[in-house]
Structure 1
Amino acid sequence: MAVYVVGDFLRETRLRKGYTQEEVSYGICTPASLSRIENGAQKPGRLILEKLFERLGTENNLFNSFVSREDMELYSAIQELIRNITDDDVAKIEAQIEVVEKLSTNASELEHQCLYFAKGELERQREKNDEKAMKMYMKAIRITLPDFDGKNPLRNNLLTFDEIMIINAIAILHANGDDIMTAIKLDTWLKEYMEEKVVDGKMKTAKYPMILYNLSYWLGEESCHKEALKYAEQGVEFCIKYGNLAFFPILLFNKGGALAEIGEVERARKYLHQSITIFEAMERPDLIQIAVEWCRIHYLIEF
């Protein structure tokens, strides 16, 4: 059985996938630094190592980088902040921002990316200020993707999971601002990227259904109901296969809504009822009320 050190594994994975050092390291570290890491001449920090693995379309499940206690505390605090963002927990996001800021006084810009993203989430969710949120998202994404203009995909660039999350958040702001086509363009890019370049893992399981949900919803808003149905069905199948329960019922609801829009009312009723039943099992009366009212007003279906 072959024994690998992290540099060997990074280099062999990069070469097997046909990526250059410039593509993998862009915005994370210099190509020269990646070369030294691959050759064993430089020990990468934990966050840099994680982001390099993500650019290679995988997760760092094999290697740990031995770092100082301070670096480990900052890394752990950033991971907790990412979980808070994923959970949409505004109170915890705000509290964790303070923790990360105290630990990141001497940190690099890469460590600040998640911090800026979190501040953008606060502006969007708590302050309802999409303009300030967009400024924070763009400040975050341009740390590693300086050429991104917020509207046009960079299809030649490799992406980390943080970059995918931030770009998706930017797409949501475009949709909220009545620029749904730009939102669709950005999330279509992310969808195709994850299908082509990201190996199945816990991050793909968490993020890919979210993008399919957004696309099915936005396409429905644009009256592209057959396309919306296709993405909703794809999302439902993915959730069943990989066990994403968070997005399963809302994708079911989108599937039912798309079916109702194209006139397949009985099939629509089946999936809409399933989604509401799951909301009941999840003890989410807020979602039940929204779903029931939506069905009554938009599809003339009573539950």
Structure 2
Amino acid sequence: MYYNLQAFGEEVRSIRTNLGFTQKDVCKLSGIHEDTLRKVENGKVVPIQKTLDLLSPILKKDLNQLLLNYRLNNYQTFEEIKNRLESKIDRDEYQTLSVELDDLKALLHTESNTYFINLINQLILLIESIILSKEYKKFDKSLDKLIEAIKITTPDFSLSNYKYFVYDSFELRILMNMSLVLDEIKSIEQSLEIMEFCMQIVDPNEKLYPKICYNLSYTYHRLDIHESALKYSDLGIDYCMRHRDYNGLNLLYFRKGVAEYGLGYETFMDSLKKCIYFCEILDQNKLKDLFINNCKKFYNIELQL
């Protein structure tokens, strides 16, 4: 569920300061990490119930109930569009993203909440960036869209100072996409630096986590650093298994198999076969054919299924 996290965070901060507490005071009394409270007050995270349960007696306010006051309208419509987008991106189906783009713009005209408007605009700019990059190979314009998107909520952002800000999960996704575009127009080293930064700050239980793992695995593969490629593919697979989220497992097992092949491990064929298996489970036949062809073309591997 989406909330006006910025307004909620501002009220939590106001409650704390009115009680005369510093962030350090509240964290010492409640037992939560100072970084967690900072993210809550900056509107950068949807706080879990346990966090609000720990903060509520210290701040003399039922924060779980308070959060409900900041629920956003049109959430279900937004989430449905977002899920369709995610599914198409996972399948490399970029040709029809304009459908969801039009739906988002229509939703924008029905919304009056400034926070939600900013969120929708960020998603619109992200999708426009993906279309520019994937469909038209206009990487400079794609990067401009991503910078415009992240500046909606982090106005002072630049590629030279990106490490100095606190990001929510959606901003982190924008930053991850910046890394992918920079790989095309700058250098693989700059791309890797930003992707590693994303990995350092992403919540290991976020849906974005395995996507970052995949991109890191692929980047290290291109640098012929197969140990790191294997490490990140394994981390992504572990997330998917723990959360029973099988989308993306085919990609991660492909990266795992290629890394094992590069390291001379005999297990590479088992991983590649799992990649094909999950393509079939997910009904991603185009990806399945691509994996089989790439194995033959680049590694002279015949996948006998």
TM-score category of the 2 structures, normalised to the smaller one: 0.7 to 0.9
CA distance in 1, matches of 2:167, 2:48: 5
Give the counterpart of 2:168 among 131, 147, 160. Answer: 160
Give the counterpart of 1:103 among 96, 100, 110. Answer: 110
In the alignment, structure 1 segments of 5+ residues that lack a partner are 1-5, 29-50
State the TM-score, normalizing by the size of structure 1: 0.73
Deviations 1:118-172 (A, max 9, x none): 3323333444422222111101101222333236641x43221110111111111
State which drifts further: 281-290 or 110-119. 110-119
SS of structure 2 residue aligned to 1:103: coil
Alignment-derived partner of residue 46 in structure 2:
53
List aligned pairs for 1:123-134, cutoff 5 A.
123-134=132-143
State the TM-score, normalizing by the size of structure 2: 0.72
Deviations 1:67-87 (A, max 9, x none): 69xx613x4444344334322
Deviations 1:192-220 (A, max 9, x none): 112xxx373xxx1x210000000000110
Note the C-alpha offset of 1:189.
1.0
List aligned pairs for 1:191-202, cutoff 5 A.
191-194=199-202, 198=203, 200=205
Alignment-derived partner of residue 240 in structure 2:
239
Deviations 1:89-126 (A, max 9, x none): 61432222321332247735734333322332333344
Which letter does structure 1 place at the counterpart of 2:101? E
Asked if 2 retains the 8 angstrom alpha-carbon contact of 1:188 and 1:215, the reply is yes
State which drifts further: 114-123 or 253-262. 114-123
CA distance in 1, matches of 2:69, 2:290: 48
Deviations 1:222-281 (A, max 9, x none): 1111111111112112211111211212111101101111222x3111111121122123
SS of structure 2 residue aligned to 1:142: helix
- Percent identity, aligned pairs only, is 20
Asked if 2 retains the 8 angstrom alpha-carbon contact of 1:276 and 1:288, the reply is yes
Change (3 A) 1:293 1:25: same
Asked if 1 retains the 8 angstrom alpha-carbon contact of 2:125 and 2:149, the reply is yes
CA distance in 2, matches of 1:215, 1:20: 26
CA distance in 1, matches of 2:47, 2:175: 15
Asked if 1 retains the 8 angstrom alpha-carbon contact of 2:140 and 2:185, the reply is no
Alignment-derived partner of residue 155 in structure 2:
146
Count of residues in Structure 1 that have an aligned counterpart in Structure 2: 262
Change (3 A) 1:132 1:55: farther
CA distance in 2, matches of 1:283, 1:20: 39
Change (3 A) 1:130 1:76: farther
CA distance in 1, matches of 2:267, 2:80: 41
Which letter does structure 2 place at the counterpart of 1:237? D
Asked if 2 retains the 8 angstrom alpha-carbon contact of 1:261 and 1:299, the reply is no
CA distance in 2, matches of 1:145, 1:234: 29
Asked if 2 retains the 8 angstrom alpha-carbon contact of 1:55 and 1:159, the reply is no
Change (3 A) 1:278 1:199: closer
SS of structure 2 residue aligned to 1:72: coil
Asked if 1 retains the 8 angstrom alpha-carbon contact of 2:196 and 2:216, the reply is yes
Which letter does structure 2 place at the counterpart of 1:260? Y
Change (3 A) 1:284 1:151: farther
